[in-house]
Amino acid sequence: MDNEALINGYFEDNLSENEKGEFERLLNTDSEFAADFEFQKELQRSLKKEERQQIKAMFGAQNPFAEKTPTKVVRLRPWLMAASIALLVGISAWLIFFTNTGIDAGQLYDTNFVPYENVVHPIERGAQIEDLKTKAFTAYEDEDYGNALALFKELQQKQTDSYIQFYEAIVLMQLNKHQEAVPLLENYISGDGELKDRAIWYLALAYLKQGDTSKSSEQLDKLIKEDGFKAKAARQLLENL
């Protein structure tokens, strides 16, 4: 049995006792054999580790990011908080009393729209920024939305990951281009993407911003029925529409 076949046999786990002995002998005496074997073993280890990372990332994306605290939470001193609440209540009461339009879609949109966290392409800070996807999501995380849009558009040409549509739509919403965002979200949703329920939420917000409350309500109803992501927020928002 030649050396290559011997090493293959090791990995296939079908060496006879004699062959195992031969394998050990060569490992200890033939440095080229040992190097060859070590390289293959290292390849196997690396592939395994890489796969585990990918699987863990995939699992990570299964979770709503409920555990992560929002990065921009302002802690108000209690009296200041009470005063602001009182002020808000006063203003809302005044608005409700004196305005003719029942709802302020813009206000509702602003209180509800938060760019969705990057859960699909973990970025290692400090890593060489080589590939396009990393560049795009780095720009996204850095809130450099103009740049991110260009990069996502480029990515769309080259890749088939459907979640690109989702993140591109959010970027468009940040840039106030809601009429461009809507078809992307609709497409992503009909493609049954991973983040479908998130997309429905953002679609509802996009319709809201465009002033189409009936379409917005339709999407919110879907979330409420699923009773999953943002069901409670959807209910509250619906009440206000």
Partner 1 sequence: MNDKQLIAQLKKRDRNALKDVYRQYKTEFFRFASRYSKDTVLLEDIFQDAIIAVYENVLAGKLDDLKSSLKTYLFSTGKFMIFKNFRDTKEVATEENYIFDRKETAVMEDVYEDEGPNENQKKLIESFKKLGDKCREILELFYLQGLKLEEIMSVQGYENKNVAKSQKSRCLKTLRELVGRG
Q: Which residues here bind partner 1, judged by CB under 8 A?
A: 4-5, 8, 11-12, 14, 39-40, 42-53, 55-56, 58-59, 62-63, 67
Q: Least separation, in Å, of the C-beta of 30 and partner 1?
A: 17
Q: Give whichever of 54 and 84 is closer to partner 1, judged by the CB atom.
A: 54
Q: Give whichever of 12 and 17 is closer to partner 1, judged by the CB atom.
A: 12
Q: Least separation, in Å, of the C-beta of 239 and partner 1?
A: 30
Q: How many CA atoms lie within 13 A of 24 on its CB side?
A: 6
Q: Give whichever of 16 and 63 is closer to partner 1, judged by the CB atom.
A: 63
DSSP state of 217: H
Q: Least separation, in Å, of the C-beta of 25 and partner 1?
A: 22
Among residues 137, 117, 116, the alpha carbon closest in space to that of 125 is found at 137
Q: Least separation, in Å, of the C-beta of 45 and partner 1?
A: 7
Residue 92 has a CB neighbour count (10 Å cut-off) of 12
Q: Least separation, in Å, of the C-beta of 102 and partner 1?
A: 41
Q: How far apart are CA 149 and CA 59, in angstroms?
A: 27
Q: Give whichever of 184 and 193 is closer to partner 1, judged by the CB atom.
A: 193
The pair phi, psi for residue 166, each rounded to 5°, is -60, -55
Q: Give whichever of 17 and 67 is closer to partner 1, judged by the CB atom.
A: 67
How far is C-alpha 92 from the chain's CA centre? 35
Q: How far apart are CA 220 and CA 238, in angstroms?
A: 7
Q: Least separation, in Å, of the C-beta of 10 and partner 1?
A: 12
Cα-based distances in Å from 139 to 45, 69, 119, 135, 170: 33, 21, 14, 6, 13
Q: Give whichever of 109 and 163 is closer to partner 1, judged by the CB atom.
A: 163
Q: Least separation, in Å, of the C-beta of 56 and partner 1?
A: 5
Neighbouring residues of 152: CB distance < 8 A, sequence distance ≥ 6: 136, 140, 164, 167, 168, 171
Q: Give whichever of 90 and 122 is closer to partner 1, judged by the CB atom.
A: 122
Q: C-alpha angle with apex 193: 188 to 195, nearest 5 degrees?
A: 100
